[in-house]
Amino acid sequence: MAFTTTTPTLLISLLLLQFLSGTHSATFTITNNCNYNVWPAILSNSGSPLITPTGFALGPTDSEAIPVPPNWSGRLWGRTHCAADINGKFTCLTGDCGTSSVECGGGNLSPPATTVEFALTDGAGPAKYLISLADGYNLPLMVVPQGGAAGTGNCGTVGCVMDSNSEYFPKELRVTSSSTGTGNGNDTTTLAIKSACGGASGAGNCNSNSNSELFKKWCPQAQASVYDKSSGSTCQSSDFVIHFCPSGFPATRNNGDNIGGEGASSSSDDLGKDTNKTFGIVIGVVAGVIGLVLIIWLCRKYIKKSCTCTCCGLFSCTICGDRD
């Protein structure tokens, strides 16, 4: 085959196309479904390519698409109750990364916070992802893989939604407004839940303790503690969508600023209310029937003149027949 002057140009074009096609292996679309602001943070593992931004703000219903390079591994989480002081120092009550700015720039989280862990590939194998409670819980999260190839992992949607104000969480695990110095001293609203290890009396007590079992009961798809090896999903996916306060799930109540209302009631609460309402109706009907029968009986027993019964169309006349 003859070598023409167009051959080098064609080869260079193919190489350039191959290079450009490998510049990123995934896109993270981060969506805030909460009715309050969330400040997502991203931390790359040591030796992993860096991605930007490392921190930003998302208002309610806002989304941000982040391109992620091949072989990236790291973690992502949301920060809540964030503000800057008069000197411009930016801090968050949950998930703060310690950089005093919106950008985390390599700063790790200050527990507690719900995290999403990723280990992507360059296409040679499936990506790994999981939701972890090893650093505690501060926000409901859901991860949805997009465009997964068949036969390359379970490609399942994973999520974790807990009611952090539930009485089932022991007091030693709760981070409240009063404990952070932001409440009035009597405010018991829970901002976040400490990790199972954080609530244990020692690191040795964290392995399969009652707290980690409680986390696993609430969020069976999530990693309950650093000792939990049963969680994790894989998918040959090009994109992932990360939802804070995923729609279709009851959002954790009172997790952030500018929350409207008291939050969604749990299904068990709704069931209890419906049961009580039905029971009240039944009692009312029974009481009404008993009262009517009592009036008829009194009429027959004590009124000497003829008592015309008006209920014979409803009851047997042996009950409410006329009395001479």
What pLDDT is stored for residue 77 in this prediction? 97
Q: Considering the domain boundaries, does residue 296 fall inside one?
A: no
Q: Are 142 and 158 in contact (CB under 8 A)?
A: yes
What pLDDT is stored for residue 168 in this prediction? 76
Cis peptide before 40 (omega within 30 of 0): no
Q: Considering the domain boundaries, does residue 134 fall inside one?
A: yes
Structure tokens at 261: 């209302």
What pLDDT is stored for residue 266 in this prediction? 36
Q: Considering the domain boundaries, does residue 293 fall inside one?
A: no
Measured CA to CA, the distance from residue 239 to residue 144 in angstroms comes to 9
Structure tokens at 157: 């949607």
pLDDT tens-digit readout, 204-223: 556 667 788 888 888 999 99
Measured CA to CA, the distance from residue 213 to residue 230 in angstroms comes to 13
What pLDDT is stored for residue 154 in this prediction? 79
Tell me which residues of the chain have a pLDDT lower than 50.
1-23, 184, 201-203, 250-275, 305-307, 311-324
Q: Dihedral, CA atoms, 232, 222, 67, 15, nearest 10 degrees? A: 0
Q: Considering the domain boundaries, does residue 154 fall inside one?
A: yes
What pLDDT is stored for residue 13 in this prediction? 41
Measured CA to CA, the distance from residue 118 to residue 233 in angstroms comes to 10
Report which of 87, 40, 69 is spatially closest to residue 243, judged by C-alpha positions.
40
Query: Which residues form the domain of 104?
Result: 26-244
pLDDT tens-digit readout, 179-188: 555 554 555 6
Number of independent structural domains in the chain:
1
Q: What CATH code is carried by the domain that includes residue 148?
A: 2.60.110.10
Q: Are 132 and 109 in contact (CB under 8 A)?
A: no
Listed in sequence order, the residues at least 6 apart from 112 whose beta carbon sits closer than 8 Å to its beta carbon are 94, 95, 135, 136, 137, 138, 175, 192, 193, 194, 195, 198
Q: Considering the domain boundaries, does residue 92 fall inside one?
A: yes
